[in-house]
Structure 1
C-alpha cells in the first residue's frame, strides 16, 4: 500500500480528496493536515510515501513545507494540488521534485490517473537494478513517459511540456505560440515545438486566424 497524507486548509476539500484517494487501489490515506506546521508534524509522525500538498496554506507557502521536509531528512514524494496557476509556481514545484501538479478543482478520474502513473513509476524505480548506462537510460525513459503517455520527441523535456500543457488548460480561449511563450517563460520557437507536438498527438486542436496580409496565425487549445 502507498500511504498518503492529504494537506489542505479547507476541511471539506480535504475530505473530498481523501475520499478520492481511498477509491484508488493500492492507496490509503494515513492522515490529513490543514497548515504547514501540521503537515510537517504529520510527516514526521506518519512517514507517508506521498503527500498531496496544497500550496496556499494559512501559515506558509506549500513549497516552503517541502524545503523544511527535505531539511529534516524526509524523502516522501509530493503531488501538488493547488489553484495556483502562475507559471512560476509550476516551475518551482518541478524544481522541488513534485511528481505531478494538479489544478483545482478536479474530478476523481483526473486524480486517479495521476496516482496510477505515480504508482507505476514508483514500482519501476523500486524494481530496477542498474548495471550500466543503458539501464539508467531505460529507467529514465519509463519514468518520463509512463504507459499511456505519448513519448516526447528528442529535445523536448517533460517539465517544459507540463508547463505548456498547463498554459493551454488555463487559457480561456486559444493561444498562439507567442502568447504561450510569454506565459511559461520560454522562447516562441520552443513553445511552438511543444504546441505542435500536442497537436500531432491529438491533445491540442489547431485553428487558423487570418489577418489582412501574410500567413495565417496558428492558434491552439487543449482538447482535454
Structure 2
C-alpha cells in the first residue's frame, strides 16, 4: 500500500480528501495534519510515500513546509500540492520545491484519482529499477513519461466533441462570462451529464477553471471558464 498524509487546515476538507484517497485501490491515508508543524512531525514519524499538501495553514505556509521536508528530514516523501492559491509565485514555488503536481481547489475526485494513479505508475516503475545499477536513458525516459499529464480525453470522450465544447467555452470566456454544464449542454446539443464530463476533463487538465456560485438553497452551481 502507498501511504498518504493529508494536510489541510480545514478538518472537513481533510476528511473529504481522505475519503477520495481511500476510494483509490492501493492507497491508504496514514494520518491527517491540520498545521505545518503537525505535517512535519507526521512525516518524520510515519514516513508516508506521498503528502497531499495545502498551502494555507495557520502556522507555516505550505511552501515553507515543502522546503523543510526537502531540507531537514531524513524522510523524503513526494508531494502533490492541493490548494485554492492561484498566484503564479505560489505555483512557481511549488515547482521549485519539487512538487509532483498542483491541484487547484475545488477539484473533483476524478482529478485526484488521476494524479494518484500517475503517482502509482511512477512508484511502480521506480521499484522495478535495480537499485545498485546506473540508470539507462530509456529508464529515465520511462520515469519522466509516467509524470506526463494526459492531454487527450479519457475513455468515453471523443476529440471531436471535446473540440466543440472547447469552442463554446472559449467563446463564453472571451465574452467575459462563464458557463454551467446545463448552458453548455444547450449550446452543444449534448446531455447535461456529457457536457459536464468534458468540462470537468478540461478542469482536471488545467485548461479550464471552475468556481462555485451559491444560490438560496441546494448545492452550489459549478461555473466554468476557459484558461488553457
TM-score (norm 2): 0.63
Cross-structure match for 2:35: 35
1:1-224 aligned at under 5 Å gives the runs: 1-70=1-70, 71-129=72-130, 131=134, 133-145=136-148, 148=150, 173-174=173-174, 221=226
CA distance, structure 1, for counterparts of residue 104 and residue 151 of structure 2: 19
CA RMSD of aligned residues (A): 2.9
Task: Judge conservation of contact 1:80–1:102 (CA < 8 Å) in 2.
Answer: yes
How far does the alpha carbon of each residue in 1:64-111 deviate from its partner, in whole angstroms, 9 at most, with x for none?
112222212221111100000011111110111111110101111111
Report the CA distance shift for 1:132/1:102 in structure 2 as closer, same or farther (over 3 A): closer
Q: How many residues align?
A: 162
Deviates more, 1:76-85 or 1:62-71: 62-71
Assess, with a 3 A threshold, how the Cα gap between structure 1 residues 203 and 47 changes in structure 2: closer, same or farther.
closer
Contact 1:81 1:101 in 2 (8 A): yes
Counterpart-to-counterpart distance in 1, 2:81 and 2:38 = 17
Deviates more, 1:22-31 or 1:70-79: 70-79
Counterparts of 1:57 and 1:93, CA distance in 2: 15
SS at match of 1:101: strand
Cα distance in 2 between the residues matched to 1:88 and 1:103: 14
CA pair 132-84 structure 1, distance change in 2 beyond 3 A: closer
CA contact (8 A) 2:9 2:57 kept: yes
- Change in 2 beyond 3 A, CA 1:125/1:149: farther
Indicate how the Cα distance of structure 1 residues 51 and 144 shifts in structure 2: closer, same or farther if over 3 A, else same: closer
1:145 counterpart SS class: coil
Which segments of 5 or more consecutive residues in structure 1 lack a partner in the other structure?
151-168, 176-201, 206-219
Q: CA offsets, 1:143-199, max 9 Å, x none?
A: 3436x556xxxxxxxxxxxxxxxxxx9xx9249xxxxxxxxxxxxxxxxxxxxxxxx
Please say if residues 2 and 50 of structure 1, whose CA atoms lie closer than 8 Å, have aligned partners that are also in contact.
Answer: yes
> What runs of 5+ residues in structure 2 fail to find an aligned partner?
153-168, 176-204, 209-224
TM-score (norm 1): 0.64
